[in-house]
């Protein structure tokens, strides 16, 4: 099976080819190709109009590159034929949401065009569930709790009765967005997360508000306090260290509570903030202390990427979870708990 994936919810114009003999598990014959063209704002944060302009220019190019790659794979012994006109893919998976509407519309238009061109089915993927499933797939874990720590989101998911339930989530801004707003305030370019990680290494811990309410958490107070601290003359390295320790301790506390409440003994990490080494270490230590297993995918599968869209697309396609073009509208507020998890039953049968 060979699936084309297209991602473009915010900053990453990305296309992927995922080829596998069995979408239910990782095999030695799995092959993942990812081509990404990232939007980097000249100043400030992600501007929706500029991001959409970037998608309009970059999506056709990355998709063409991925299709060329799929043709090469098909020619190298794949099952879909190798001629210019024969379909080198079995289906087209695209990120349907959540994300920036103008960007999503460009992705969906490209996906529909490719599906029609090769006369293959369309698969509409929830971007946040893809952040989770790529970790579940690559870890081989059965039923993990997932911490999604990304730019625009932050939530803990657990599986029950055919759905991923939101066990806890941010009450205001996404975790990466909070970090990026702080770095914007001090004049650092986007994205701020990697810079905070770098500076925190040289800092002393500076106390910031720790806000966990039940299973939910809030980042806006931390962000305001961090800006204020720098304005008051606290060394920026110390504020970065304080942000990391505070935010990641909150996420670790709620992840631990989710493991405890669900009785699960597996945790996977998803999302661009998940690339942070300190967050991975805190989650890893917590899991080790309670005898649970922890898995963080490679960086290229943590930040936004079409590989995760193609991987979940393969599982959905195998489960017959495809959509007609007329029902393929985007959903910029697509929540993970709205998704009927069709593929896990198919994996078990």
Site string for ligand ATP, 62-91 (x = CB under 6 A): ------------------------------
**What's the distance, CA 59 to chain centroid?**
18
DSSP letters for 299-342: HHHHSS-HHHHHHHHHHHHHTT--B-GGG----TT--GGGS---
Q: Is 321 in the site for ligand ATP (CB under 6 A)?
A: no
Site string for ligand ATP, 153-172 (x = CB under 6 A): x-------------------
Q: Is 271 in the site for ligand ATP (CB under 6 A)?
A: yes
Please tell me the distance from the alpha carbon of residue 125 to that of residue 114, in angstroms, as a whole number: 16
Q: Is 245 in the site for ligand ATP (CB under 6 A)?
A: no
Tokens coding 285: 């230590």
For the CA atoms of 150, 152, 157, 161, what is the dihedral angle to 10 degrees? Answer: -130
Closest approach of ligand ATP to the CB of residue 14, in Å: 10
Q: Is 151 helix (H, G, I), strand (E, B) or coil?
A: coil
Tokens coding 140: 């081989």
Q: Is 10 in the site for ligand ATP (CB under 6 A)?
A: yes
The correct pick among 14, 80, 139, 150 for binding ligand ATP (CB under 6 A) is: 150
Tokens coding 89: 């893919």
Count of residues interacting with ligand ATP (CB under 6 A) = 26
Tokens coding 255: 């992840």
Q: Is 16 in the site for ligand ATP (CB under 6 A)?
A: no
Q: Which is nearer to ligand ATP, 118 or 217 (CB)?
A: 217
Residue with the shortest CB distance to ligand ATP: 151
The correct pick among 5, 144, 168, 176 for binding ligand ATP (CB under 6 A) is: 176
Q: Is 297 in the site for ligand ATP (CB under 6 A)?
A: no
Q: Is 174 in the site for ligand ATP (CB under 6 A)?
A: yes
Q: Is 135 in the site for ligand ATP (CB under 6 A)?
A: no
Residues 313, 91 contacting (CB under 8 angstroms)? yes
DSSP letters for 67-107: HHHHHHHHHTT-SS--STTS-S-SEEEEEEESS-HHHHHHH
Q: How far apart are the first and last CA of the chain?
A: 18
Q: Is 180 in the site for ligand ATP (CB under 6 A)?
A: yes
Positions touching ligand ATP (CB under 6 A) are: 9-11, 99, 127, 150-153, 174, 176-177, 179-180, 191-194, 197, 271-273, 275-276, 303-304
């Amino acid at each position: 099976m060979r699936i084309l994936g297209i991602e473009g919810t915010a900053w990453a114009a990305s296309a992927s080819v995922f080829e596998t003999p069995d979408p239910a598990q990782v095999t030695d014959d799995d092959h993942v190709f990812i081509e990404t063209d990232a939007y980097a704002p000249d100043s400030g944060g992600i501007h929706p109009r500029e991001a959409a302009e970037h998608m309009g220019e970059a999506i056709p190019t990355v998709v063409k590159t991925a299709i060329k790659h799929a043709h090469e794979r098909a020619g190298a012994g794949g099952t879909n034929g190798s001629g210019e006109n024969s379909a080198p893919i079995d289906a087209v998976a695209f990120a349907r949401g959540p994300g920036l509407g103008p960007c999503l519309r460009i992705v969906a238009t490209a996906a529909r065009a490719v599906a029609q061109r090769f006369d293959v089915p369309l698969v509409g993927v929830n971007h946040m569930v893809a952040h989770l499933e790529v970790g579940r797939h690559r870890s081989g874990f059965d039923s993990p709790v997932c911490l999604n720590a990304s730019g625009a989101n932050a939530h803990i998911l657990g599986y029950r009765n055919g759905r991923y339930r939101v066990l806890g989530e941010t009450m205001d801004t996404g975790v990466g967005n909070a970090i990026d707003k702080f770095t914007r305030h001090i004049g650092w370019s986007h994205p701020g997360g990697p810079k905070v990680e770098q500076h925190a290494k040289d800092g002393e811990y500076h106390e910031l508000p720790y806000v966990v309410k039940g299973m939910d958490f809030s980042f806006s107070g931390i962000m305001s306090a961090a800006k204020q601290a720098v304005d008051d003359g606290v060394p920026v390295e110390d504020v970065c260290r304080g942000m990391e320790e505070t935010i990641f301790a909150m996420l670790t506390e709620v992840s631990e509570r989710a493991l405890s409440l669900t009785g699960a003994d597996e945790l996977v990490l998803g999302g661009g903030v998940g690339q942070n080494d300190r967050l991975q270490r805190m989650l890893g230590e917590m899991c080790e202390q309670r005898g649970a297993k922890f898995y963080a995918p490679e960086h290229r599968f943590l930040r936004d990427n079409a590989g995760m869209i193609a991987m979940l697309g393969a599982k959905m396609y195998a489960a017959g979870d495809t959509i007609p073009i007329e029902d393929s509208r985007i959903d910029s507020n697509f929540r993970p708990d709205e998704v009927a998890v069709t593929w896990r039953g198919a994996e078990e049968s």
